[in-house]
Amino acid sequence: MVVLRIEGAPVSDNVSQVVHRLRDIGLNVETTALRGETLLIVPGASPVVQEALAAMPGVRQIKEVNVPYPLVSREWQQETTRVHVGNVTIGGGEPVIIAGPCSVESEVQVRAAAEAAKMAGAHLLRGGAYKPRTNPYSFQGLGERGLKLLRAAGDAVGLPVVTEVMSPSTVDLVSEYADMLQVGTRNMANFDLLRALGACQRPVLLKRGMSATVEEWLQAAEYIVASGNPNVVLCERGIRSFEVATRNTLDLAGAVLAKQRSHLPVVVDPSHGTGVVELIGPMSMAAIAAGVDGLTLEMHPNPKEAFSDGDQALTPKQLEEIVDQVMRLADYLTPAYAEQGARREYGIRNS
């Protein structure tokens, strides 16, 4: 596949000249408007055609990329993309911690969770308002009321919020309340949803399908970016295997492979990835040691009373210990961040 970067919008003369030239010689072209430029994806342009295209007006870059996910590949872009969620940057070198309950259950619960997440040093608050439950009789989430409660709790403690969106028809509604939209494992291959998220500018947390290969996961990310939204963060959350002692098999090698193959930031979810409270700390440490960009951790003010995923919910104290340990590890591994680490600790204790 060949990617062309062209000055100007898709409707500009520069772009339409190139598109016409390609169509004239029988080649297919996909057009993406990204960051004020146009990217054209052309499967199968020969070196001769590439040379001719490179000389056309407005063509800034032309590159052959040998993977089915050109725009999210490291072959196309070497440096890791930084994704901004409110005042938080994912992919900037310092691990970002997303924490909060599986589901938003009530005003009191989500407010207590928000305060605990903030106290523990998390950077983003999570909580589901639309829950993709395996069983139709399980708690399905509070819907829009849940979005409002999550937003209010995040604002009260000063944390941007992340929540799941399940269908294209609710992308606008969820975008009104959330700073980042999560695509759950069961929806990774919902291509209509991925396209709808490409058309909105909210950052997206794209979970890996529980039966998806790394290549399929990266192609799902490509859908979002090719539809116009470059702000995608990948999330490894465990895959199905023969093992039943853990809820899923956390594929840390897959997370690292995704980072090597793609410029998108990668976070790891050891909560769904193991389903076992005692494994969440060790796997968090392993993920950070492996160089991922952050973690998402489920925490409930009172795990025994959780409406969903109570068995894997950390207590506020357990969360605090894990965040403390992974941040120390990150400071140790990346001395350049150690100074910021010290400031971070003061910031948390004083606010």
CB-based contacts of 178, cutoff 8 Å, min separation 6: 147, 150, 151, 161, 162, 163, 165, 202
Is 102 a binding residue for Mn ion by CB under 5 A? The answer is yes
Q: Output 38 or 248, the one with its CB closest to ligand PEP.
A: 248
Q: Output 73 or 296, the one with its CB closest to ligand PEP.
A: 296
Residue 348 buriedness (CB in 10 A; 0-12 / 13-18 / 19+) = middle
Report residue 166 as tokens.
């399940």
Total residues found in the chain within this entry: 351
Distance separating alpha carbons of residues 93 and 174, to the nearest angstrom:
28
Select the residue interacting with Mn ion from 293, 309, 320, 331 (CB under 5 A). 309
Residue listed under structure tokens 């539809």: 227
Stretch that binds Mn ion, among 19-27, 201-209, 304-312, 331-339 (CB under 5 A): 304-312
Is 247 a binding residue for ligand PEP by CB under 6 A? The answer is no
Please say whether the beta carbons of 72 and 232 come within 8 A: yes
Q: Is 218 helix (H, G, I), strand (E, B) or coil?
A: helix
Closest residue to ligand PEP, based on beta-carbon distance? 184
The partner in contact with residue 151, picked from Mn ion, ligand PEP, none with C-beta cut-offs of 5 to 8 angstroms by kind, is none
Is 237 a binding residue for ligand PEP by CB under 6 A? The answer is yes
Please say whether the beta carbons of 102 and 308 come within 8 A: yes
Cα–Cα separations (whole angstroms), residue 235 to 20, 158, 192, 284:
39, 23, 20, 13
Stretch that binds ligand PEP, among 28-36, 105-113, 183-191, 321-329 (CB under 6 A): 183-191
Stretch that binds ligand PEP, among 9-17, 47-55, 181-189, 326-334 (CB under 6 A): 181-189
Question: Which phi and psi angles does 284 have, rounded to 5°?
Answer: -65, -45
Stretch that binds ligand PEP, among 51-59, 144-152, 182-190, 211-219 (CB under 6 A): 182-190
Select the residue interacting with ligand PEP from 272, 284, 301, 327 (CB under 6 A). 272
| Separate counts of helices (H) and strands (E) for the chain | 12, 14
Select the residue interacting with ligand PEP from 70, 95, 128, 316 (CB under 6 A). 128
Min separation Cβ 210 and ligand PEP, Å: 7
CA 337, distance to chain mean position in Å, is 22
Q: Output 61 or 213, the one with its CB closest to ligand PEP.
A: 213
Q: What track of x and - describes contact with ligand PEP for positions 197 through 216 (by CB under 6 A)?
A: ----------x---------
Which positions touch Mn ion (CB under 5 A)? Answer: 102, 309
| Chain positions contacting ligand PEP, by CB under 6 A | 102, 128, 132, 184-186, 207, 237, 272
